Amino acid sequence: MTTTPILILGGKGKTGRRVAAQLDARGIPYRLASRSSEQRFDWYDESTWSPTIAGTDTAYLAPPVGPTGLAQAGRFIKQAADEGLRRVVLLSGRGVGSPGRDFAVYDGQLDLEHAVQASGADWTIVQPAWFAQGFSEDFLRYHVLGGEIRVSAGTGGEAWIDTNDVGDVMTEALLNEAYTGQIIAISGPRPLTMTEVAEALTAATGRPIGYVDLQPEDHVKELIGDGLVQEDAEAVRDLFAVIRNHRSEYVSDGVERVLGRQPRDFADWAQETATTGIWAD
């Protein structure tokens, strides 16, 4: 078994934490890297890059959101491969680079995929659907607590995925070289509209949770009000536009292909998550 730690960039995030837990369970060493990790790493402070790369040969890369951050991640992967990284598993986005689905919103993510593919390191790219944990561990949690999901998704659906499934797939991709050179698309078992999401959350929490369909520009304003910078608020609006335009209403079979089991359903995830108290008043 390797004693070289696997580098987890974004290791305290929703997926990085789960990859770390999977590696822990298997007794495989890893090193978390982020601004608040012991290995201090900042996408926007290049003096932190070389010390982070040193002594590792495999990395899980959860990139930042937004064009500037994605470009930084592309620069980082080139430097990392030059400095000895041999293998990388990239968390990308749903539909990036797929024919007919290549919206401008994905340009930065597609450039990053190309940077990873051209880096010289062995690579696997995983393209997940939207994370169910957006409603429990990210900004949409506050919408659930407030009883109103306020986003610009229109009547479009998304095949929400449990990030535990994402973490399991990522771990397999990190440890199994059979996935080298593959792009793996993963999603939950069925698309749900935001109204259906709100219904599932209502059933799980026992509290009424509605859906307010914002106009995209109003969504940007609300995101800025929540503390996002303009560029990132527009990037989030553009991501929601993919759902709004009914371009995410499909299921991808990567979880079953990699893990040999079905992905978790959003309603089941919501029921179990409610029991943790994360949505309690």
Of 35, 114, 221, 261, the one binding ligand NAP by CB under 6 A: 35
Interface with ligand NAP by CB under 6 A: which range of 8-16, 188-196, 218-226, 252-260? 8-16
Q: Is 36 in the site for ligand NAP (CB under 6 A)?
A: yes
Nearest to 253 by CA among 243, 268, 263, 267: 263
CB of 248 to ligand NAP, least distance (A): 11
The Cα 240–Cα 139 span in angstroms is 14
Query: How many chain residues are in contact with ligand NAP, going by CB under 6 A?
Result: 25
Long-range contacts of 33-36 (CB under 8 A, 24+ apart): 33/7, 33/8, 33/9, 34/9, 34/10, 36/12
Site string for ligand NAP, 75-114 (x = CB under 6 A): ----------------x-x---------------------
Contact status: 142 vs ligand NAP (CB under 6 A) = no
Query: Residue 136 corresponds to which amino acid?
Result: S
Q: Are strands 87-91 and 58-61 parallel, antiparallel or unpaired?
A: parallel
Dihedral sign of CA atoms 198, 155, 250, 182 in order: negative
Instruction: Give the whole-angstrom CA distance, residue 27 versus residue 160.
Output: 30
Which window, 4-12, 78-86, 185-193, 247-255, contacts ligand NAP (CB under 6 A)? 4-12
Chosen residue from 6, 7, 14, 174 binding ligand NAP by CB under 6 A = 14
Q: Which residue has the tokens 């799980």?
A: 204
Return the range that interacts with ligand NAP (CB under 6 A); candidates 113-121, 125-133, 187-195, 266-274: 125-133
**Residue with smaller CB distance to ligand NAP, 41 or 123:** 41
Pairing between strand 87-91 and 39-40?
unpaired
Residue 41: exposure state from Cβ atoms within 10 A (0-12, 13-18, ≥19): buried
143 CB-side CA count, 13 A? 23
Q: Which is nearer to ligand NAP, 129 or 204 (CB)?
A: 129
19 scored as a contact of ligand NAP (CB under 6 A): no
- 131 is an interface residue for ligand NAP by CB under 6 A: yes
Q: How far is the CB of 1 from ligand NAP (least distance, A)?
A: 26
Residues that bind ligand NAP (CB under 6 A): 10-16, 34-37, 41-44, 62-65, 91, 93, 128, 130-131, 134
